[in-house]
Amino acid sequence: MLTVCFHLTEASILFIYIYNNITTEIKKNYLISFDHIIQQKSNDGKMLRNLCFFLTVTHSLRYFYTASSGISDFPSYMSVGFVDDVQISYCDSRTNRNIPKQEWMKEVSSEHPRYWEEETDTCLDKQQTFKLNIEFAKQRFNQTGGVHVYQQMYGCEWDDETGEVKGYDQIGYDGEDFIVLDLRTRSWIAPVQEAVTSKNKWNSDIFVASPESFYLTLMCPEWLKKYLSYGRRTLMRTDLPSVSILQKSSSSPISCFATGFYPNRAEMFWRKDGAEIHDGVEKGEILPNNDGTFQMSVDLNLPSSEDWTKYECVFQLSGIERDVITPLEKTKISTNEGNTLKLSGVHFYVQLGVICITMKRDLVFFDYLTEWEHVDGEKGPRTDP
């Protein structure tokens, strides 16, 4: 558990900021509870407040599976595993091998010598199942040709303080929800009419929802804890970012771009005269780099007539008390009028770029109908009727 305190003046808007503007990702990964507000006086006599609250870290293990049709020069199937949004494994229909993406993931072989062989077997089985499932989905939607994407995400979250576990299994087709498991009722929910047949069949089969619930609430958290122990040195580290001020052209928004930070529990915003501003500000999502770190940006629409010296970009990283503050100085803005902006050291997330067009961050994806358990962290296949 992390304890975080902010020193506030009465005029500060930080209290409102914490309530209303903390990012969705931080809300998802942390349980936030306000402990107390202590009043005290500063040296100049002004009333100050210390706002303290606790952050309870929630760890996650997630698997993403994607099958596609109608996309040339791209794998028809691929699977990716993540621990705390750090990629741990990868397999696709071209390599036909499940491989570790972190050095510390190789340590699992010391306890389970056939781990990566079994992960590869799972990948090959799922690949065949997903090829069938995408055809089933096309039939349900009365489709023939064209580009189609059939996806699944499942996994679990574990609160390292309370021990609370949450599991999820979500299935989607062409970027929209198709069928979702409700662990509270141990039943499947069909957001679209085309999924009702699968929902009824899966809900009537005790060998579907019950094993699924068992895996997500018991086996998945245990594997998550194993992976956390292997990668503790990497997963528990903190890396500060490099921050750049970018502007494509003189009429474009000014972008504060931070890259290379870890973990992904971060916040970035613009300030004017020391106070956070919201008007004319557009925040981007936190995205992964290809080296295991993260990037984010926040744009500011600012008239050229404004006094730019009053503005600064602020980056805050969980676990680090010191903010990274970058003043807005016209002479230090990276710009490239009329050309593509190129930055050394900036890593853009491209590995799943094509698929991400149809994939929402919390939407995830399509599976099968009779399943079997592996000794490893992934489930076996199920074929849709």
pLDDT category of residue 108 using cuts at 50, 70 and 90: very high
What own/partner pairs with CB < 8 Å and gap ≥ 24 does 215-219 have?
215/167, 215/373, 215/379, 216/154, 216/155, 216/156, 216/167, 216/168, 216/169, 216/181, 216/183, 217/156, 217/165, 217/167, 217/183, 219/373, 219/377
Specify the higher pLDDT residue, 199 or 375.
199
User: Is the pLDDT at 175 greater than 60, yes or no?
Assistant: yes
pLDDT at residue 362 is higher than 60: no
CA–CA distance, 199 with 48 (Å, rounded to integer): 56
Say how far apart CA 118 and CA 373 lie, in whole Å. Answer: 11
- Sign, CA dihedral 287-364-172-191, equals negative
Q: Report residue 251's pLDDT band, with 50, 70 and 90 as the boundaries.
A: confident
Amino acid at residue number 109:
S
Structure tokens at 251: 């009429």
Whole-number pLDDT of residue 337: 58
**Residue 319 — pLDDT band, cuts 50, 70, 90?**
confident
Residue 301, φ and ψ in degrees, nearest 5? -90, 115
- 215 three-class SS: helix
Q: Residue 197: exposed, middle, or buried by beta-carbon count in 10 A (0-12, 13-18, 19+)?
A: middle
Q: Which of 49, 83, 36 is nearest to 63 (CA)?
A: 83
CB 220 within 8 A of CB 102: no
Q: What is the mean pLDDT of residues 284-307?
A: 90
Range of weakest confidence among 9-23, 129-143, 197-211, 272-286: 9-23
| pLDDT beyond 90 at 380 | no
Cβ(176)–Cβ(140) under 8 Å?
A: no
CB 206, CB 222: distance < 8 Å: no
Contact present, 284 and 297 (Cβ < 8 Å): yes
β-partners of residue 7 are 50
Strand partners, 39: 49
Question: Is the predicted pLDDT of residue 27 greater than 90, yes or no?
Answer: no
**DSSP type of residue 378:** S
At residue 140, the 3 state secondary structure works out as: helix
* CA angle centred on 112, ends 108 and 113, rounded to 5°: 100
Is residue 90 pLDDT above 80, yes or no?
Answer: yes
Task: Please give the pLDDT value at position 85.
Answer: 86
Going from the N-terminus, what domains does the chain have, and what CATH number goes with each? 58-233+352-356 (3.30.500.10)
Instruction: Look over the chain and give the mean of its residue pLDDT values, rounded to a whole number.
Output: 78
Q: Which has the higher per-residue pLDDT, 85 or 166?
A: 166
Could you tell me the pTM of the whole model?
Answer: 0.66
198: its two tokens: 């699968």
Decide which of 136 and 336 is more confident: 136
Write out the H or E segment, with its range, that includes residue 209. helix 206-214
Q: Mean pLDDT over residues 326-337, rounded? A: 85
Residue 305's pLDDT is: 76
Most confident of 14-23, 132-141, 335-344: 132-141
pLDDT computed for residue 55 by the predictor: 43
Task: State the average pLDDT over residues 69-98.
Answer: 94
Grade residue 331 by pLDDT with cuts at 50, 70 and 90.
confident
In total, the chain counts a number of residues equal to: 385
Per-position b or e across 253-285, b if 16+ CB within 10 A of its CB: bbbbbbbbbbbbbbbbbbbbeeebeeeebebee
Split at pLDDT 50, 70, 90, the class of 379 is low
Q: Does residue 95 surpass a pLDDT of 60?
A: yes
**Measured between alpha carbons, how far is 301 from 191 in angstroms, rounded to an integer?**
39
344 vs 268 pLDDT, higher one: 268
